[in-house]
């Protein structure tokens, strides 16, 4: 079974974070992973991110492209979000990914690959037409990492693979948030291995 860790930190001086994370176990050992960054910070960003996750929760068994379309419509009354959405399929040794906005996605381990998120704001797009990337992903050899723009892009990829030092992913993510998160923005990350 895939192991998942998540961490979210609000910007200094804020009571809530506009960054949120969610994941859902599906049939055949598949996993849908979602990292959301509400535009800006504070209560309005928090509400947009939570509304997005609630929408994904309702339709998490649907194809990624449909999830993005529905979220885009449901978020029209919000300030919008950036989103990274991945379907990990262990039986097929593959991962399907689509990102809108400034979410960074990386596969590390046996395969090292940065996955591209396409510019935009979910909830403000006339229509969401983004390519769904399909890439190799091997359980036990690879880790999948999602980060919001509140995490430094300078964080080395080797940090994601610290299993001997951090057997618990949430502990690892807490440490990475302390070391690599900006104080001037909300920050979040998710690791799946």
Could you report the per-residue pLDDT of 81-102, keeping only the tens digit for each? Answer: 999 999 999 999 999 999 999 9
**What is the share, in percent, of the chain residues with pLDDT greater than 70?**
95
122/170 Cα distance (integer angstroms): 27
Q: Mean pLDDT across the chain, nearest whole number?
A: 92
Q: What is the Cβ-side half-sphere exposure of residue 69, based on CA atoms within 13 angstroms?
A: 9
Taken as a whole, the chain contains a residue count of 193
pTM: 0.93
**HSE-CB for 30 with a 13 A CA cutoff:** 16
Q: Phi, psi at residue 26, to the nearest 5°?
A: -120, -175
Distance CA 11, CA 2 (A): 30
Q: Which residue stretches of the chain are H helix?
A: 43-59, 64-74, 169-180
Question: What structural domains does the chain harbor?
Answer: 4-192 (3.60.40.10)
Task: With a cut of 90, say whether residue 69 has pLDDT above it.
Answer: yes
Please check the confidence at residue 187 and state whether its pLDDT lies above 60.
yes
Tokens in use for 97?
């990914």
Query: What is the predicted pLDDT for the residue at 160?
Result: 63
Pick 120 or 130 by higher pLDDT. Answer: 120
Q: Identify the weakest region by mean pLDDT among 80-94, 161-175, 176-190.
A: 161-175
Compute the distance between CA of residue 136 and CA of residue 134 in angstroms, rounded to an integer. 7
Return the pLDDT at 159: 67
Residue 26 has pLDDT above 90, yes or no: yes
| pLDDT score recorded for residue 127 | 83
Q: Which residue is it, tokens 């895939």?
A: 2
- 72-86, 109-123, 142-156: which is most confident: 72-86
- Contacts by residues 69-74 (CB-CB < 8 Å, ≥ 24 positions apart): 69/127, 69/128, 71/122, 71/123, 72/122, 72/123, 72/125, 72/127, 72/128, 74/123
Map tokens 């693979």 to a residue. 161
Res. 104 pLDDT band, cuts 50 70 90: very high
pLDDT tens digits, residue range 109-129? 887 899 989 999 999 988 888
Is residue 72 classed as helix, strand or coil in its secondary structure?
Answer: helix
């Amino acid at each position: 079974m895939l192991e998942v860790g998540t961490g979210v930190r609000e910007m200094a001086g804020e009571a809530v974070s506009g960054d949120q994370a969610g994941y859902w176990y599906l049939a055949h050992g598949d996993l849908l992973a979602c990292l959301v960054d509400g535009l800006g910070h504070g209560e309005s960003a928090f509400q947009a991110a939570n509304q997005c996750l609630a929408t994904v929760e309702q339709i998490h068994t649907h194809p990624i492209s449909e999830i993005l379309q529905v979220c885009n419509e449901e978020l029209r009354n919000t300030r919008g979000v950036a989103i990274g959405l991945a379907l990990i399929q262990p039986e097929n040794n593959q991962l399907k990914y689509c990102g809108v906005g400034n979410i960074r996605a990386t596969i590390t381990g046996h395969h090292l690959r940065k996955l591209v998120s396409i510019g935009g704001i979910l909830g403000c797009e006339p229509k969401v037409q983004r390519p769904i990337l399909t890439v190799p992903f091997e359980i036990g050899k690879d880790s999948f990492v999602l980060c919001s723009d509140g995490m430094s892009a300078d964080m080395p990829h080797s940090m994601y693979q610290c299993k001997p030092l951090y057997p618990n992913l949430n502990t690892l993510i807490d440490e990475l948030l302390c070391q690599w998160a900006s104080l001037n923005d909300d920050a979040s990350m998710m690791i799946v291995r």
